[in-house]
Amino acid sequence: MCTKENFIEKFGTWSSGNTNIDEIIKESQINNPLYFLQWIPYDNFHDIKHIADSEYYTLHSAGLRNKMIEELLWDYCGAVVLKELKDYKYDILEIIKAIKNIIVYSGNITSIFGISKNPSTQNYIIVMDSHDDTVHSLLFDFFLKIAWHTMIMLLDYVIDGLHALHENNLVHCNLHSRNILIKDRKSLIASVDPGLFKLGNDLISNSDNKKNFVYGSIPYIPPEVLRGNEFTKEGDIYSFGGIMYEVATGNQPFSDQAHDTYLIIDICNGVRPKVPDIILNWIPKCYLDKMYQCWDDDPSKRPTTSELTNYLWSIFRELEANDKRKIMNKSHEQKLLRSLHKFHPQSCYISRHIYTLYELQDSLEDIKSGKCADPNLYTYDMNSKDSTKYIDLETNLKKKTNLIFLL
C-alpha cells in the first residue's frame, strides 16, 4: 500500500495541467492513502473501445498499461470504464471534489481509480472499475433462489451507495437495476454507479426552468420530472422504488406495457406498477407500504436514504426468521416462474432521451388522435444501426464487459 510519504515524493512527477485539480488529487492521497484518486495520463490506456454516448458523457472500455496497474486499488480486475464527461454540462472541479469524498464515504459506490483527460476533446474522464454483472441480471437468473433477508441486504447496499451520493451533493438521475453492479455473486455485494454526476445545488438553482427532455427509462423516472421539472434527490428515491418492485416481484416496473407517452400520462396521474396477484401474498405488507411511499406523487413525502436504511435494518431479522417464500410449494413456484420476464414488445429499459409532457403539451391531442406519431414510443427498426446496438445490448449483457454502464 502507498503511504503518504510515497505520494508526496511523486508530486513533482505528474500534473493534470490544472492546478486546482492537482490540489484535489494530492489532498485525497495525503488524507487517505487507502482510498485515493490519482492522475492517469491518457496514453496509459490501451484497447480503447467505444461503448455509448449520451448527452452527458461518452463511455469507453479500456485496459491499463502494466506500470499503472500496480499503483491502483486492490480490486482492479483487468479492465476499466472511461466515463468522459462533456465539460459544458459540468462544474468539473466540484464534481472531482465530490468524487474525492464519496470514494472514502462508501464501499457501495463503483470503485473510482482516478481522473484523466482526452487530449482530442479536452474533456475530463472518470476512470472507473468494470463489472459485467448487475442486480437485474442476478434477479433474472436467481429470483426465487435468493432469500428475502438477503435481498433486503442487497437493497441496503444500494441505498448506502445512494446515501453517499446525496450526502456529497450528487444526484444520480438514472438509477435502475441494470446500472447497479454486482461485484461478486457469492457475497452479493452491490455497488452503485455514480450516474449522471449532477450536482444537487445546480439542480436547485435551475428548478424554475422547465425541461423538454429527460434521459432515462420511463418506469424509473418520477412524475415531476416527466412533467418537465428538474431531477432531485427525492427523484432518486422514486427510482429506488422501482428497484424494490423488481426485488419483490422478479419483474421490472410496467414490463407488460408499452413505454410511451400514454404511460407517462398514467404515471403523472398516479398510476403505479401493479403487484401480480400470484405473488402478492408472499411480499410483506410493510415492504409494499414503503415501496409505494417511495412512489408518492409528492416528493416531500418520500423517505430519505437514512430513513430507508433504518427501515431495511428493522425488517432484516424478521424476514430472516419468517420468509414465506421458503414454504412455497413447487406448483405455485412453477406458475410464478412462468409469469416472469414477459415483456411488452414496446417496453424499453435502455436509457434514452424522453420527451417530457412540458415539451409535448401542444401536441398531446394529436398524439392521442393518431395525427402524429408518439415520439416516446420505442420500436425496433431492424434496419437501424441503433436498434441493432440495443438488441445486442440485451442479448449480450453478460458476455460483453462494461456494456452494463449504458443501460
**What CATH number does residue 66 fall under?**
3.30.200.20
Q: How confident is the model at residue 381 (pLDDT cuts 50, 70, 90)?
A: low
What average pLDDT score do residues 113-123 get? 93
| Domain finish residue from 114, 129, 144 | 129
Q: Say if 403 falls within a structural domain.
A: no
pLDDT at 173: 93
Q: Say if 289 falls within a structural domain.
A: yes
Q: What is the CATH number of the domain that holds 238?
A: 1.10.510.10
Higher-confidence residue: 328 or 351?
351
| Lowest model confidence (mean pLDDT) among 212-226, 283-297, 352-366, 379-393 | 379-393
Q: Say if 402 falls within a structural domain.
A: no
| Domain finish residue from 88, 106, 129 | 129
| Domain finish residue from 73, 103, 129 | 129
151 and 250 co-located in one domain: yes
93 and 242 co-located in one domain: no
Residue 171 has pLDDT above 80, yes or no: yes
DSSP lists the bridge partners of residue 137 as none
Residue 386 has pLDDT above 90, yes or no: no
Convert the pLDDT of each residue in 226-260 to its tens digit: 999 999 999 999 999 999 999 999 999 999 999 99
CA distances from 255 to 206, 239, 348, 381 (A): 33, 15, 8, 20
125 and 139 co-located in one domain: no
pLDDT at 265: 97
Burial grade of 211 (CB within 10 A; 0-12, 13-18, 19 or more)? middle
Higher-confidence residue: 404 or 176?
176
148 and 250 co-located in one domain: yes
| Lowest model confidence (mean pLDDT) among 27-36, 145-154, 378-387 | 378-387
Q: Say if 202 falls within a structural domain.
A: yes
Q: How confident is the model at residue 326 (pLDDT cuts 50, 70, 90)?
A: low
Q: Say if 326 falls within a structural domain.
A: yes
105 and 174 co-located in one domain: no
One-letter amino acid at 368 equals: K
100 and 182 co-located in one domain: no
Residue 58 has pLDDT above 80, yes or no: yes
Q: Which domain holds residue 33?
A: 4-129
Residue 206 has pLDDT above 70, yes or no: no
73 and 31 co-located in one domain: yes
Give the chain's mean pLDDT. Answer: 84
157 and 253 co-located in one domain: yes
What average pLDDT score do residues 162-180 get? 92
Residue 308 has pLDDT above 90, yes or no: yes
What average pLDDT score do residues 265-274 get? 97
314 and 189 co-located in one domain: yes
120 and 28 co-located in one domain: yes
> How many separate domains does the chain show?
2
Higher-confidence residue: 115 or 71?
115
Q: In what order do the strands lie in the sheet with 112-117?
A: 45-53, 57-64, 80-85, 124-129, 112-117
pLDDT at 103: 82
Residue 158 has pLDDT above 60, yes or no: yes
Q: State the cell numbers at 303.
A: 423517505
Distance CA 17, CA 15 (A): 5
Q: H or E stretch including 45?
A: strand 45-53
pLDDT at 356: 97
Longest alpha-carbon distance in the chain: 70
CA distances from 249 to 145, 157, 245, 253, 282 (A): 13, 19, 6, 9, 9
pLDDT winner (highest mean) among 49-58, 142-151, 171-180, 382-391:
171-180
Q: Say if 386 falls within a structural domain.
A: no
Q: State the cell numbers at 403.
A: 456494456
194 and 305 co-located in one domain: yes
What average pLDDT score do residues 141-146 get? 86
Q: Say if 84 falls within a structural domain.
A: yes
Q: Say if 217 falls within a structural domain.
A: yes
57 and 190 co-located in one domain: no
- Return all residues near 383 (Cβ < 8 A) that are at least 6 apart: none
